[in-house]
Structure 1
Amino acid sequence: MNPIVEFCASNMHHGTDELLEQLEADPTIDAIEYGCLGNCGECYLFPFVLVNGEIVAAETVEELSKKIEAAVKEQQAHQDALDKLLDDL
């Protein structure tokens, strides 16, 4: 299953619209834009997304891109460890 990266349309003034376009072109990520993600404080202050439901935020879009990649890898590592544990049961 691909990781899901959710964008808020109201956050696009930070430049996240370009990042959304990049991730939409990536077949290994499901990038989705919503009108509102309900995180207005984060939305107003800095670029942010939800990666599989977890907030990932940064000062710049470039930093956000790196944090998204790190979050996806970290979440996948946790899922792999959980799957291994369940297989061993």
Structure 2
Amino acid sequence: MADYKIQFCENNFSFGTDKIIEMLENEIDNDIEIEIVSCLGFCDDCSTSPFALINGEIVQADTPEELFEEIKSYIL
């Protein structure tokens, strides 16, 4: 089982979160599981900014690049 489960909502890809998945796969060596879900049920957050769930905890930022850095800080 992975140390970190990172979930992304397909509906949030319009904020560029789809690019973060590739960045995580290329740059993070930690044991992570990445899951893309059609809806995570955080529609208010999903409609306003890039976000992801890490082990069930929401992580948000203003840009995809900032979200990537937030995720790195969380798991490294």
TM-score range (shorter-chain normalised) is: 0.7 to 0.9
Q: How does 1:3-82 map to 2 (within 5 A)?
A: 3-25=4-26, 26=28, 28-73=31-76
Runs (5+) with no aligned partner, structure 1: 74-89
- TM-score when normalising by structure 2: 0.85
| RMSD of equivalent CA atoms | 1.5
**1:9-63 Cα deviation digits (max 9, x unpaired):** 0000000111112324555221110000000000000000001100000000111
The Cα shift of 1:70 comes to 1.4
Q: Which has the higher helix share?
A: 1
CA radius of gyration, larger in? 1
The percentage of aligned residue pairs carrying the same residue is 40
Contact 1:23 1:30 (C-alpha < 8 Å) held by counterparts: no
Q: Which has the higher contact order (CA 8 A, sep 6+)?
A: 2
Looking at structure 2, the residues matched to 60 and 20 of structure 1 have their Cα atoms a distance apart, in angstroms, of 14
Contact 1:24 1:30 (C-alpha < 8 Å) held by counterparts: no
Q: Aligned AA for 1:16?
A: T
Deviating beyond 6 angstroms after TM superposition, the runs of 4 or more aligned structure 1 residues are none
Q: Which has the higher strand share?
A: 2
Count of aligned pairs:
73
